[in-house]
Amino acid sequence: MINDDEAVIVFTAKSTEQILNEGGSSAWRLDRTRAHFCTFVVCTRNAKSEWVAGLEAHHAAFLIGKLKDVIPSPEYKGRYILRFSEYASVNLPNVWNGERNPVKYSTLHNIGIDPSRLKWQPMPEPNKTDLDVTHRVDLTPLSLTEAKERLAHTFGVLPTAIEIIVRG
């Protein structure tokens, strides 16, 4: 059974506006399969970065997205964009615990967030220039294991419940 409040938590210097313009949070080096099993993305502030664009307190959660898809970044090989279907603004101090890796996995429950209490808004369409770059079709070969994992996430079942038949 997949936990419905699983979250990818990222430590970012990008502003809410930048994230909304891009359609989600990017460009993360992460386990794509593991991220696909998550329902949410929690953006926490890295206020110490040289290129910080947001004003939130260091380590605070400021944006939560409902994860729509995990797609390869067209700009950065081996990195991924976490696409959102909806988002909610929050202001929760000290959600990031100072881990070295800027991506971690948890649940909303574990970090004290009740998604039913958030004011969800639909994601705006990404900027046209971002759309042109980030909606390219990924033609990288997909293994049967990856296909089963992605389909399992889509349908809310375990990968062992997926059967794939390839006819040539």
Q: Residue 163 has which token pair?
A: 């059967």
How does residue 98 score in pLDDT terms, banded at 50, 70 and 90? confident
Who has greater pLDDT, 131 or 165?
A: 165
Domain ranges of the chain: 6-136, 140-168
pLDDT value of residue 161: 87
Q: What is the pLDDT of residue 2?
A: 56
Omega into 47 within 30° of 0, i.e. cis? no
pLDDT band for position 167 (cuts 50, 70, 90): confident
Task: Round to whole Å and give the CA distance between 149 and 72.
Answer: 16
- Annotate 83-143 with DSSP letters as a single string: EEEEEEEEEETT-S---SSSEEEEETGGGT--GGGS--EEPPPPPHHHHHHHT----S---
* The pLDDT of residue 16: 95
What is the model's pTM? 0.75
pLDDT tens figures, 139-164 = 567 788 888 887 877 777 888 888 88
Mean pLDDT of 8-12: 97
The pLDDT score that the predictor gives to residue 1 is: 44
Q: For residue 87, what are the β-bridge partners?
A: 65, 121
Q: Which of 1-15, 49-63, 117-131 has the lowest mean pLDDT?
A: 117-131
More confident residue, 131 or 114: 114
Asked if 72 and 140 count as a contact pair (C-beta separation under 8 A), the reply is yes
pLDDT attached to residue 132: 45
Residue 36: CB partners within 8 Å, gap ≥ 6?
70, 149, 150, 153
Position 128 pLDDT exceeds 60: no
